[in-house]
Structure 1
Amino acid sequence: MANPSRVFAAVLPAAGRGFAGNEKEQVLEVHTVNRQSPGDRVREVQVTGTAEVCFPADRVSVCVSLGNSKESVAEVLSSVSRRLEYILQTLRQHGVSDKDTVVRRYLHRAADLYHMDAEVVATFSDFEKMEQVCSVLLEKLDKSVCVGTPQFYHSAGCLSQLRRQVCVSAVENAQQKASEVSQLLGQSLGPPLVVREEETKEWRNEDGEFGSRGQGAALLSHLPHRPTITASSRVSVSFSLRDKSRKQL
């Protein structure tokens, strides 16, 4: 059956002509407005989906500091430079590139002595290599260097992946919910009409993988913590519905 329509008509004077007595030339202007029949309306289901995703830190940096004091500049430079070169060589042997290594030196004089302080900050993505490097430096250089506590953190790429993944997971949950609802109603789930991310949150857990270990946690309190970041997302999605009995084109 054709869609019902309503017709609006108005009688207007002809453009560009005057009136002579009772003779009035008029024009009938017609507007037709079509209305959708109930069977052609877009049927949809609106659902929300939520998700939480947790990522551990994917980077760790370690600061190794050293220094010495001598009566001459040459002596102090030689003393510090030998240890500094050993540290850099150890890092290279364990696959740490120069771009992931920062070296700082500071030479100054106090009274009759020359002091030189230096530090090397190395960034690792392989935590096992970080532990190996720290062990080698402490074993070979002992008290002549100070190996700082490892500092774990999330790289920009890791955070970006976390935010994408939690949003995708929330949409997947919404789709699963909509699919089950459509089956309950005897319908077939159509394509999405609107997808909107309503809310996102992020929070950091400093305890990381060493948290909540009961009595054993006290024994591991001296170990560096690997923090995690949890992200949550809530989305709103509208899907079209199709009657299962209708023939699919």
Structure 2
Amino acid sequence: MRREENLAFITSKRPATTLGLIPKNRIYSEEQMRSALIFSDTDSRRQITVSGMGEFSLPPDRVKLIVIITSTKSNANEAKTSVERRLKYVEQTLRNYGVKDADKSIARSVTRRDTMFEAMTEITAIFVDIQRYQNCHNILVEKLDAPVVRVLDPVFSHSTLRLENIKRQASVQAVRNAKHTAEDIARTVGLHVAKAVQITEENYQEKEGALAVSGQPTSFQNLIDAKTIVVNVTLNITFELKAKERQRKKDNAQ
């Protein structure tokens, strides 16, 4: 039986003329494949370099709720009192949904326009549970009057720990895929894959989705998809190759 393989990336520390490597894309027999990598001396280091790719996607695991409360009155204190009354309700609602003080921030400002005063307060809260965010968001929209109170669109993000973890997972998957490729090729020439002797990152990509422009209001799921990160890692890995035990005994006997 004859096979067509690509052994151009199989390398060794010995000169190519001694190895008798078969040129790229040439049709060759199984006997030729074996002779390409198996040597008479046991000290030769046989190696194979292959590429492996790993890819993982990570949807956002954090969501920011932003609420803006404004009040415009002829008296500055009255405007601030109106805002504070609604702010207390927002803060209590956030506590009811498990938001800690460390995960929220409040910014206050007062501006004057002619004879009128506008008091504004912006509340920002971070949720790590998207379902809780949705429930809290809906309550605030239902109970508070617009346009005095505005609940903005969610802002999604990723925690640093989860992002670093997904990068490691993609790299591990790339190593496994590269090893599987090396094992398939080594098996055809009667060898088996030993330890990795060199790993080089060939390519790393980190991409986010994009919002679809449809002219319609953006859905909650579309916002999540737009912030989903896809991590792609390509590694070049050199593995050491060993002769199988039966072949090693045969070579030693010769």
Measured against the shorter chain, the TM-score band is: 0.7 to 0.9
Aligned position for 1:236: 236
1:120-163 Cα distance to aligned partner (Å, 9 max, x none): 11121211111111111111113231010112222322322222
* TM-score for both structures, normalised by structure 2: 0.73
The equivalent of 1:11 in structure 2 is none
More deviation in 220-229 or 231-240? Answer: 220-229
Match of 1:128 in 2: 131
Corresponding residue for 1:39? 42
Match of 1:150 in 2: 154
Tell me which of 109, 116, 137 is aligned to 1:106. Answer: 109
What is residue 173 of structure 2 aligned with on the other side? 169
2 CA distance for matches of 1:84 and 1:194? 59
Query: The residue matched to 2:153 in structure 1 has which SS?
Result: coil
Partner of 1:12: none
Partner residue in 1 for 2:36:
none
Question: Following the alignment from structure 1 to structure 2, what is the Cα–Cα distance between the partners of residues 74 and 46?
Answer: 74
Distance 1:134 1:202 in 2: 30
Query: 206, 220, 223: which is aligned to 2:219?
Result: 223
Match of residue 8 from structure 1: none
SS in 2 for 1:142: coil
Deviations 1:60-103 (A, max 9, x none): 11211011123333322221111111111111110111222111
Which amino acid is the alignment partner of residue 242 of structure 2?
A: R
Q: Displacement, 1:43?
A: 1.2
> Normalization by structure 1: what TM-score?
0.74
Amino acid at match of 1:85: K
For 1:166-197, what per-residue CA distance to the aligned partner results, in whole angstroms no more than 9, with x for missing partners?
Answer: 11111110011112222222222211111111
1:49 positional shift: 0.6
Please give the alpha-carbon distance, in whole angstroms, between the structure 2 residues aligned to 1:138 and 1:62. Answer: 12
In the alignment, is the contact (CA less than 8 A) between 1:49 and 1:173 conserved in 2?
yes
Mapping 1:1-249, distance limit 5 Å: 38-143=41-146, 144-207=148-211, 221-224=217-220, 225-226=223-224, 227=226, 228-245=228-245, 246=248
Q: Letter of the aligned partner of 1:196 in structure 2?
A: T
In the alignment, structure 2 segments of 5+ residues that lack a partner are 1-39, 250-254
Q: CA deviation at 1:218?
A: 7.0
Q: Which amino acid aligns with 1:243?
A: A
Paired with 1:168 and 1:197, the residues of 2 have a C-alpha distance of 12
Number of equivalent positions: 203
> Partners in 2 of 1:222 and 1:232 — Cα distance?
27
Larger radius of gyration: 1
Asked if the contact 1:167–1:197 (Cα under 8 Å) also holds between the matched residues in 2, the reply is no
Is the 1:68–1:117 contact (alpha carbons within 8 Å) kept by the matching residues of 2?
A: yes
1:153 is aligned with what amino acid?
Answer: S
- The answer to whether the 8 A contact 1:50-1:234 is kept is yes
The amino acid of 2:192's aligned partner reads S
Structure 1 alignment gaps of length 5 or more: 1-36, 212-216
Where 1:39 maps in the other structure, the secondary structure is coil
Which amino acid in the other structure matches residue 235 of structure 2? V
Structure 1: distance between partners of 2:54 and 2:118: 55
Look up the match of 2:18.
none
